Amino acid sequence: EWVAELPTKLHSKLVNAGLAAPRVQPEPEPQPEPETVPTLKAWTDTYIKNHPGKDSTINLLEVTARSLCKKFGDDKPIDSFTAGDAEDFRKWLQTKGNERKGYKTGLAANTVRRRMGRTKQFFNFAIKHELIARNPFAGEASTVTGNDDRLFMVPSDWIETCIRKAPCED
């Protein structure tokens, strides 16, 4: 008992002189492997695969996922996104986010907002799975607004034509 309670330095001297047995070090308990955070591509693929939406909704989610991967790369971990990345993505969509035009032109304001909304969905799903603590895209606008460019005065002759073709004037 006396030898077992000796300080390490004195015990080592006794071991070196052959007067005491070396202390047995307890084996460290195995640590669980840390969970790896999924990459952007893996996470968006998982989200889309498990989404119960219609084909058109799935298609729009896939377009958004492709845009994210085009801007940030497939291998970016989802926990590495910042609010600055969210702002960069919005600006990229506004200037170079048009997939149909080879990413050389931007998208309309409401299209950008819809894409930001879908991106928020991807990251809110990650919050629910406790992979990230907060959504870096939360501060970005995603509510679709009216488009004043599409407003115009309807000519009266159009209205008269519609009235004449209707089954009843009322």
**Position 29 pLDDT exceeds 90:** no
Helix, strand and coil in the chain, % to nearest 5: 55, 0, 45
pTM of the entire predicted model: 0.69
Q: Which two tokens stand for residue 127?
A: 């919050």
Question: Which among 35, 95, 42, 103 is positioned nearest to 67, based on CA atoms?
Answer: 103
Provide the sign of the torsion angle of the four alpha carbons 97, 99, 102, 107, taken in this order: negative
- pLDDT digit string (tens) for 43-94? 999 999 999 999 999 999 999 999 999 999 999 999 999 999 999 999 999 9
Question: Phi then psi for 82, rounded to 5 degrees?
Answer: -120, 170
